[in-house]
Structure 1
């Protein structure tokens, strides 16, 4: 039987019948690619499932190979998981694209014999010109390369978390966890994970749908980033209230935000935040939504499609490695997938400096809380000739219905209407003009694939 239906290797997939000396070559090629890839061990070149013996021992060998045989450091850039198919055990090595390209075999140095790139389904030697270009543009302002302005750091909180996860940190932990520069000084990753630092994560809570009435403002920080993250997760878990929906058949209890997606969004915002400019992520609770804003942008050359497909380029591989050690992160690249199982892609907004995710509360929660739409701004006769109190009520229903993106036909069916012109002029256009409803394809408003989603519901 073929591996999960795949018959052959591809740009992002490599099969290995068994663990060989060529593993590092394939891993290096994926590290040097713009979107990483996966190596499946226990599958032959045709995709036939073979399986492996003593998978636990193999995992340790693989980790040792990738840790000691590749330069720069790969820690935090790969994940090893076990798979079961046809009652056989396979090993999957998930490889993220590295930010310190080019990667190469340590014993061969930065040369075509030690440096590889993925071309189609093969890993080929990297041309010297490409190596020189990548080296010249290597990211040097990562938190692993920035020296902490404070060197009298302690890590008792981090040690406690590792002990709770059945790990023991020895005297060389700072070096092993890459919390030091090459000069053996603490880097900015070490500063963020120290017992005391200047990083503070804020959670603001507002009484309405805008930032006018701030009713609560809490700070979690000035401590180990792991501890601060747990505080944020606990706080948002408390805020994520349960509401009840009564149907004709049953009583259903739901959360106002999907708990799995919420956790993934929080973790992603923190470990992928651009801390090099000393701007922490922020979390804002409104009456109808949660907004999470993190500093940074998509890596150069990394498309939105690749982002939503789950390809991973960890901005802070040191944080990724530690959060993975402490079981706060699932397998690499899975966070976005989990979020998109509960919410549409339209909840994301990207700018040159920030990434914001807007998670609307469940429709039933909004209805239960009695959050009502403000009367639509007075429209001109030309724009909304059929505007009536009934249309305003229908607009409210649209906003509640479009907490997740919906098509025009879905909206019409929900309202029980058939007149396209009436729906467009009297209901959708005023909501779009007031900023309460947005388009998933704003540059092509008449696209047949166009969908609409709620940004805010005015009281």
Structure 2
């Protein structure tokens, strides 16, 4: 905790507490903290740490008896909460660790107060929050309960659109659904109750002026600039299935396109906001948003950002810190099932993964997901795409192009020169061991895009960096590219000292880059007069280059190398010398 206060290290599943002096007050305080975690995803409370301090000063110790504390927490909560309490020593101070499981019910203190952990805060729960969490934990599906609508209330266009989606599916069973009678189709989609009245999911999806949600299901506004006036506003009521498609088309109509040509000649059209990522965010808002609050999905669209906000918090147990790996938990399983059967949602709940993958593959930042008790927001930031990332990813094995961990690790290494498993684990939402497995895989054949630094190669958790040839391919997509150019220059200078000349084909082989990237490297060296054209041929990959006026002599290069090491040492190399 050196340099940071304990409070800065708290997470959605970790809390530091300093025990109150009075035993009764201490137990009440810790019982309240345990209720917070039990009503969220569970967590750990470390008692005996002053969260306003940093370093060893933060460890003030705790003399509470573990068994007595466990018993009091059980007595001070309703239903009685069983926690694990253990004492341990750290920095010559006795601390207590309280492990709180995720609850099966909604818990409160003995005084009737209910709390829930939201990020790092313990906040009171409103009656609606208690009802929502109770239904989720008991498996009550609001969307599967009957509505007051019957088959005659269905919008014919909505049902026709469902049949079109099914008939165009690659799944033969879904194609067969398209020819069913209306009532049989509704049953197949699980949108009818036992009395053949529509469920609330059926009401939302297929009826105009749905009674199970707000009058406006989706509100969309477009601005030419993020702080400007709206130039387009859409307020869409039911059916949700038609509103969904209309919003997708509204965003698509306002998309900008960046063309990218891959090394194999394939042309890609990169959208400002990848359609696949936006669709997944919209699906998540539709099937996980809490329609019982009667608030619409809000969409704000400008060249600078695209934000989708849905009512209600994340489903119990899912947080912004585990959303990639926790797995899909539908708030309304019946509504989610209908979206999946219609081919609008992921079958295995990988929608958030897809959002991340599509954004990184298009050379953009990952989506920002935030939540509070009222809403969940997904923010896509508009920016010029880093097309070098798109081009590089196309050279990886297909399975790696679809691996979220691979893409996240690459993105972080475009910003940081080195990473370690314990530093990247939270970023990819994996354990340290899982992160190390991914790093090791990416440094081995057939991927070989990373390498451990020389000073840490024998450690249990080495530091990894991009290989020089990968940095060359990524070019200015790497924030520290200017430093990486030194490594590229050194390899080319060494080659010229050995062979006397270099050409585009040589650069391609040295750094595993395409003809255009090799051209850029050569032009940079020519511009700095390190090399000069030496052949009569002036165009093509066979043009030869020899040492130029600024080509360093071996003695000069050694001197430069010593000076650079003094000015900007590699921390990993320094560590290697110490150990």
Q: TM-score, normalised by structure 2?
A: 0.37
Higher RCO (C-alpha under 8 Å, 6+ residues apart):
1
Structure ranking higher in helix proportion: 2
Whose Rg is larger? 2
Q: TM-score, normalised by structure 1?
A: 0.46
